Structure 1
């Protein structure tokens, strides 16, 4: 599950008055359907579909994902990933 910042969730999705909706992540010219859930706390999360996206695109702990809402009507997000290339020694 990927959490979405509260202010982003409120700005983009409260207007729709939905608790859950399908969205599309656009990454490397591919489209990935994911489910967005808006929580009563005001935060949101990407759930169904996110794990498959993360696995198939080899996301790792420490990678930074920046979401950019490019079309609110069709719920399309561009995703920019900045890879963490630091190896942590234990």
Structure 2
């Protein structure tokens, strides 16, 4: 898929966010609504509380899993700004998963030792 196709916005209002909020798991997870910036700057934010609890002071490598496929990615942490991101590898995941602005992703930490985040995507277009 071409990057331009991935950047085409979708509509859908709050429906994907409402559906994502119904997600439940015994594993820790966080939710991100995909905005145009997430697609353009090749990274997405991780809530700082989640990052510091599960990833701080560890190696920067993580794996993003979607539909039984894995993408290696790296975490960035800026303590002075209190920001954390999934960075390197994010762009490959965007293209392979056909992620669009308006989609909502739930990142579920399914393996702490191997640092695997299983992604559940709630599509803006249903």
- Taking the aligned partners of 2:114 and 2:97, their CA distance within structure 1 comes to 23
2:89 corresponds to 1:79: no
Q: Flag the structure with more relative contact order, 1 or 2, with Cα contacts below 8 A and sequence separation at least 6.
A: 2
- Report how far residue 64 of structure 1 moved: 0.3
Aligned length: 83
Structure 2 residue matching 1:8: 3-state secondary structure: helix
Q: What is aligned with 2:64?
A: 25
Structure 2: tracts of 5 or more residues without a match: 1-42
CA RMSD of aligned residues (A): 1.5
Equivalent residue for 1:7, pick from 45, 49, 71: 49
Which of the two has greater strand per residue?
1
TM-score (normalizing by structure 2)? 0.61
User: What SS does the aligned partner of 2:100 have?
Assistant: coil
Aligned partner (choices 48, 70, 79) of residue 88 of structure 2: 48
TM-score, L = length of structure 1: 0.83
Shift of 1:43: 2.5
| Partners of 1:4 and 1:44 within 8 A in 2 | yes
> Are the equivalent residues in 2 in contact too, given 1:9–1:43 (CA < 8 A)?
no
